[in-house]
Structures are given as structure tokens and as C-alpha cells.
């Protein structure tokens, strides 16, 4: 603010930093700045793996590669609350296997999403591709994947295109479907309906005009 006042040259006296600060405080003026984001990757790295998928997103059969990610959603009316939605997707047909909603992004919530996915495909042993979020770098998550005989592939930091099918699904989900809900129950219902829509009702030119479910059924 002090620099801007000096630049605009609108004052006939010198406004010191202390004077400007006091004036702002007295009139309730606050700087609108973005809070610095902490680098959770550096703080929480436990298990780091290479990008084994290497952007080879087109798969020839079911359960070769599953991708996953989590995003923040809001719900509530008078008081807006936040939650994390975890989704597990099979790259074959871009079919969402299952999801989980949690208050925060933790290893336990990520593992729960995969437990639900393995209920859909109990015999699968896919490669799992994630970003380098704290939950996915944790010992607990990597031990769980090892128990399922799954190889873990990871995107590089700041490279969202290395998990672009999941990023694209989030974009469509938020753009087409998601709105603020007045309760957690309605939020969960909205997510269930969205997954059903993208899996069974929306046709894709990249899938020969079929839905993800019908395209996936061809591999059965």
C-alpha cells in the first residue's frame, strides 16, 4: 500500500509504513493476499515411486491400471463445510469403480476407497497410479498396495497431465454435476448420481459412442 501511494503521487506529504499501517488498522482495511501453501510433498515423503505409467493411458483390457485422486468439495447452506472425495478409476473405458468421502485427505481414507474398489473387482492386481500427495506417499498406503500385489506408479510433482484422465473426470464432475448441498447426505447422493451418469448414461466418441459401462463390458 505504501509503495502504491508513492507510485500514484496523490499525497503532498510522505506516508511512512507505520502511518499507513495504523490508518489501515483503524479503518479495518486488510490486504487480500493468498496464503502460502506448505509443501506437503517434502514434509511427508515416505515412499516415492517412479512414473511407471508414463502417460500410457489407453489400455487394452480391464484392471491393467487403476488411477486415483482426491479433490475438495463444499457442502452446507448457512455454514459451508469442506470434504474430500476420493475416486478410483479403471483406465479401461475410464470406468469409476468406487469412491470414498472423508473430512480430510488421509492414508486411511485413500485405503478405504481402494477397499471399496476391490469389492467390485476382488481378483484384480492392477498397477496403481497416483500423484505424490501425503496419503499416497505414506507407509500405510504403500503397505496396503503391496498386500494386494499391486505396483505403485506416481506422477511427478507439478505434473497434473501425468494423471490427466483423472483430472479430466474431476473437471467434468465439477462442471456438469456438482453443486453445493445442504447436507452430507445430499452431497453423497450427488456423487453417487454423478458416478452413475458418467459410467452408464454418458456416451463418449472415444469409446465408439458407448458409455463407460458398455465399453467395459466388451472386455468381459
CA distances from 96 to 33, 109, 156 (A): 37, 17, 23
Residue 127, beta-bridge partner list: 65
Give the model's pLDDT for residue 131.
93
pLDDT given at position 208: 76
pTM: 0.74
**Domains of the chain in sequence order:** 1-33 (no CATH), 41-217 (3.30.420.10)
Task: Give 10-residue mean pLDDT values along the chain (220 residues).
Answer: 60 70 71 47 59 89 94 83 93 94 93 97 95 92 94 90 91 76 81 89 78 82
Predicted pLDDT of residue 33? 45
pLDDT given for residue 70 in this prediction = 93
pLDDT on residue 41: 42
Beta-carbon contacts of 200 under 8 Å, excluding residues fewer than 6 positions away, are 211, 212, 213
pLDDT digits (tens, 9 = 90+) for 76-131: 777 888 899 999 999 998 999 999 999 999 999 999 999 999 999 999 999 999 99
CA distance 133 to 24: 39
- Return d(Cα 219, Cα 196) in angstroms, integer: 19
Amino acid at each position: 500500500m505504501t509503495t502504491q501511494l508513492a507510485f500514484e503521487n496523490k499525497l503532498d506529504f510522505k506516508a511512512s509504513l507505520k502511518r499507513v499501517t495504523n490508518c489501515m488498522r483503524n479503518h479495518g482495511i486488510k490486504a487480500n493476499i493468498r496464503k502460502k501453501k506448505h509443501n506437503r510433498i517434502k514434509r511427508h515423503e515416505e515412499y516415492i515411486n517412479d512414473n511407471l505409467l508414463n502417460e500410457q493411458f489407453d489400455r487394452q483390457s480391464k484392471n491393467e491400471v487403476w488411477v486415483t485422486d482426491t479433490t475438495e468439495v463444499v457442502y452446507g447452506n448457512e455454514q459451508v463445510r469442506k470434504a474430500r472425495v476420493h475416486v478410483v478409476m479403471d483406465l479401461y473405458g475410464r470406468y469409476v469403480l468406487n469412491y470414498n468421502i472423508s473430512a480430510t485427505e488421509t492414508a486411511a481414507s485413500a485405503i478405504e476407497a481402494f477397499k471399496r474398489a476391490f469389492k467390485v473387482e476382488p481378483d484384480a492386481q492392477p498397477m496403481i497410479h497416483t500423484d505424490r500427495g501425503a496419503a499416497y506417499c505414506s507407509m500405510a498406503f504403500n503397505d496396503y498396495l503391496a498386500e494386494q500385489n499391486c505396483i505403485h506408479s506416481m506422477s511427478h510433482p507439478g505434473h497434473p497431465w501425468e494423471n490427466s484422465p483423472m483430472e479430466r473426470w474431476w473437471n467434468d464432475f465439477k462442471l456438469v454435476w456438482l453443486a453445493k448441498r445442504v447436507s452430507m447426505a445430499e452431497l453423497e447422493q450427488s456423487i453417487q448420481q454423478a458416478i452413475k451418469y458418467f459410467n452408464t448414461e454418458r456416451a463418449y466418441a472415444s469409446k465408439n459412442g458407448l458409455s463407460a459401462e458398455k465399453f467395459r463390458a466388451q472386455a468381459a
